[in-house]
Structure 1
């Protein structure tokens, strides 16, 4: 079915899906007064509740990590769904039949997503039950040969797909599932054959523990499919570039420890978790990509700082080097620090656990080194360091790597390390790195990567900065915007003469710019709230809007006089800043060498001072606001 969801149906889903009930399925909420509820944030680890739900506005916001939005946003984030998928899930939950408006774009058939998830869940139970059957012996032997007993198999929900051809299909049809849902889920092929036959299976779940698909390993020598591993085909719920095996088990630990360990296979995830590395996950049937990176960053808390770490395990061979380089090229997706853990013997975590024990797996992660250092060492190793020209070429090749390090506190250390590795004076190395920073060049990858890409630029822009709510210099702007969002009826159509340029913080200015482009407030607060949300495109500004909508106004019953006072304070502080800037320019301008410019600025200063004095004497500006 092609098209988009009718806007009225989306609005009805928002209306019927009470945010306190939806969030309450994941978070224990308690009354916090003033019509709000509080609980521990599900998006980051915390001991003191900072996660607030405001049912009257249909919004949630965490004052700890900054996540916020409406009911649909919450379902998107908590279960890693797209907007359409989240709407569909909520619609199924609250009984809204979604209408599809035909516009030529692909859509999801109403109710299909839930049918697929239910079919996958029943299939997982069926496969797991087959492990104890006579035919399942080969699966038990496979796991035993890799050091996993019955307890481990049950912990990870390992299953076995019988070779009969129609066994799963017949089981699910008997349970009442429609044939179309079984084909759409990837469990059954178009002609009725079971998709997985005679294979060991790992259920792949999302962070909410819903089964999205399966990974299957060959165990029979006469398997007609030669590939060692086969995964569920792409479906409306299983997209290999968006899923990570082990995420359901690792999610809590990732948020608590602010660490994610990325391994290469299903048994590696099992070995890591059983060894005490509870943050281990793996990509499913594809290389680790940017969407995976964004998913992990969200779970660790994207607060705009270099905090947390992502650790990749690679083999020490050429393939491992190539994989590390590919990760480096996508490292700009991470706000966290990125590391590499390489086992010198070439053993993966599963084999390492079998041969050297669980402590060795923990030590592998503990010995992690920064990704930059690993890639830098491999780049330098390709040059003849016994020759002066070879050393210079090595430094120039590695310079873009050092110059791209986002944590400036680490740069000096890497400069010294690079100088020691190549045997050159640190000042010479520093000059080459400075040159690379001024003129960024593609990262030298030679045979390590057949499709080279430019190195990430240093300090790449990451959107508008987040305003500090404790910055007293911005109190007036924050209070003014809270009133404009929560009580727009207290202002006239001109927002009491406040202009966009009067707000000094870029995020506040962008938010007020969106408000200023809207028609004057009329109608219901809910309609106004939705209109504001639709007018905002920047994700930082959208989160700021949610934060200010749920942040309480200090006055118990704000009135027009109170709103006018905040508007006047914004104008006053803007004028004060303009006056200070103009005075600074006057001090740097010679009244004799550039008399006309000096006189023009002096005239402007007199006008600004007059405007400021007039505003100070006005009634609203005389009211002291918090």
Structure 2
């Protein structure tokens, strides 16, 4: 059995892997000052970026949800991988040969359960290359004809990696076996299925590889092209696997993510060929869902790449057919409108053509014009609602107002309600105040929340005294403690004896005190000098989630200025001065409570106070000195 990966090799992987390059494949990062980068957190839904990355320290931290760590921790969290699997994946990309100890896996779960993610990605990659080669065979003529009829030449097929699955049912199964993949790996990758024996999941179909944002193939979309295909469904997709989650997958995101980040625009289309038509027509921000409706998880994926901070320039554009199904899809998208700060639009071709058919019949310019002629989504939806009624009749206007008001009242972003109510009034031809009143009535008619959720807790719970929550480490009271530890973590400098004069009690916040104890246990500040994995080593030495989160936060927080020995010394002295000051306050209080007749106790306290006051003066002299 392979043993635990050597610590020095793990450290080399951390040192050589640029965290901003890795995270940038999942999140659009922008400069935030002080050498840090900022973007929207991939781990929770937010509309203002609080996710920070510090490339020089190799750490990330979200000040919204508290998630943080190094590049290994990020990939474990975002892709659901085991520690050893992430290290192997990064080592392979950096050309690092990993060595293992002979004493087993130790404390880390270096051996992932089931096939490793890297093997599943490799299996999909090999399958995609095989399918692409098959597209040039005589058996794939119908597949090539399909592409040509839709305006896609060989260059387009190569750009999008399109392939063909042979009809015999065992071609890719045998190919993967010949390339050293086990049956379990091929099945877990979603390429091979199991019945009485293993067989190709896709047979006699045109295939589009579905890739994640980093460009790794994680699944396939397969279109029926032969009339005698025993599977009637026009499209088949890879089943849910460790790699492929259809609610989170967007076809074309690998090609579109850079353009989305640069333009702050995303175009949502309905199919693979529509994505191709848009990209080939110059709309490089187009993506599509894969066999499912656009949902909240898709929105979260998109928002990682959009400059979606204040809504002043970001755009999300949906394309729908003009028929009833398209209108239904628009209503569904309107329900998820509040997932974005960016403005949401809809682009509908008057003749009901999708982008692929539009490109075939009217050319590339028409596709660009379709997107350019977008209209606000809310206006499109409200127009569809009110056109069902005869607005020349009073009862028609009343009915239209009532239905439109119900729609407006459903908006979760209350700041948009008044503007939509005014728009509704203008469309129907009623007074804006009447529209606002109807929207308020519609809101009041919504079902009341479940009363049980406000039920009084059991007496045993209600009577139990609550432990007051700890204050935030960002509280101004802890500024000196916080800034000191930021320097200790981000810029450890060997400044000699002074660090030994700092005690855990110098820190009044329990979490910050715990971090200093980790520093002391690791050998003090000097132990971190020149150690690129210093912050990660501290973080890995504790299981306390509050301390883990705080270390990552302190590792990415911007310093006030470039640190040097004098600057670090200043903060250590300030921390020491505060600790001495607190001790003086405590002793002064005791002195006031001590009976002067108890001469021995009184003099002992007085003498200790005098020593502390002298110590404080010495610290203040050092703070004023030229060395500081």
TM-score with structure 2 setting the length: 0.69
Q: Does 1:161 align with 2:175?
A: no
Distance 1:45 1:493, change over 3 A: closer
Q: Which position in structure 2 is the counterpart of 1:359?
A: 365
Q: Which position in structure 2 is the counterpart of 1:339?
A: 345
Distance 1:19 1:413, change over 3 A: same
2:85 paired residue among 85, 88, 96: 88
Q: Which position in structure 1 is the counterpart of 2:521?
A: 523
Q: CA deviation at 1:256?
A: 0.7
2: distance between equivalents of 1:288 and 1:247?
14
Q: Which position in structure 1 is the counterpart of 2:319?
A: 313
Q: CA deviation at 1:354?
A: 0.7
Q: Which moved more, 1:271-280 or 1:394-403?
A: 394-403
Q: Does 1:118 align with 2:131?
A: no
Q: CA deviation at 1:528?
A: 4.1
2: distance between equivalents of 1:261 and 1:357?
18
Q: Which moved more, 1:179-188 or 1:410-419?
A: 410-419
Q: CA deviation at 1:67?
A: 11
Q: Which position in structure 2 is the counterpart of 1:19?
A: 14
Gaps of 5+ in 1: 1-7, 29-38, 443-466, 500-512, 573-617
2: distance between equivalents of 1:305 and 1:621?
50
2: distance between equivalents of 1:314 and 1:334?
19
TM-score with structure 1 setting the length: 0.69
Q: CA deviation at 1:310?
A: 1.5
Distance 1:171 1:554, change over 3 A: closer
Secondary structure class of the residue paired with 1:154: helix
2:545 paired residue among 521, 530, 535: 535
> Does the CA contact (< 8 Å) of 1:305 and 1:336 recur in 2?
yes
2: distance between equivalents of 1:440 and 1:530?
53
Q: Does 1:43 align with 2:41?
A: no
Partner deviation per Cα, 1:369-402 (whole Å, 9 max, x = no partner): 2222222223333445344454344334333554
Q: CA deviation at 1:116?
A: 1.6
Distance 1:248 1:280, change over 3 A: same
> Does the CA contact (< 8 Å) of 1:120 and 1:211 recur in 2?
yes
2: distance between equivalents of 1:129 and 1:266?
20
Q: Which position in structure 1 is the counterpart of 2:482?
A: 481
1:284 paired residue among 278, 287, 290: 290
Secondary structure class of the residue paired with 1:241: helix
Q: Does 1:130 align with 2:140?
A: no
Q: Which position in structure 2 is the counterpart of 1:441?
A: 446
Q: Which position in structure 2 is the counterpart of 1:72?
A: 72
1: distance between equivalents of 2:209 and 2:8?
30
1:267 paired residue among 262, 265, 273: 273
Distance 1:411 1:180, change over 3 A: closer
State which structure, 1 or 2, has the greater radius of gyration over its C-alpha atoms.
2
> Does the CA contact (< 8 Å) of 1:485 and 1:529 recur in 2?
no
Distance 1:238 1:99, change over 3 A: farther
Q: Which position in structure 2 is the counterpart of 1:585?
A: none
Q: CA deviation at 1:547?
A: 2.5
Distance 1:396 1:100, change over 3 A: farther
Q: CA deviation at 1:195?
A: 1.3
Secondary structure class of the residue paired with 2:333: helix
Between the two structures, name the one with larger relative contact order (CA 8 Å, sep ≥ 6). 2
Secondary structure class of the residue paired with 2:120: helix
1: distance between equivalents of 2:8 and 2:407?
49
> Does the CA contact (< 8 Å) of 1:376 and 1:398 recur in 2?
yes
Partner deviation per Cα, 1:347-386 (whole Å, 9 max, x = no partner): 1111111111111111111122222222222333344534
Q: Which position in structure 2 is the counterpart of 1:207?
A: 213
2: distance between equivalents of 1:387 and 1:285?
42
Q: Which position in structure 2 is the counterpart of 1:178?
A: 182
2: distance between equivalents of 1:320 and 1:542?
49
How many residue pairs get matched?
512
Q: CA deviation at 1:154?
A: 1.3
Q: Does 1:59 align with 2:54?
A: no
> Does the CA contact (< 8 Å) of 1:204 and 1:215 recur in 2?
yes
1: distance between equivalents of 2:236 and 2:173?
18
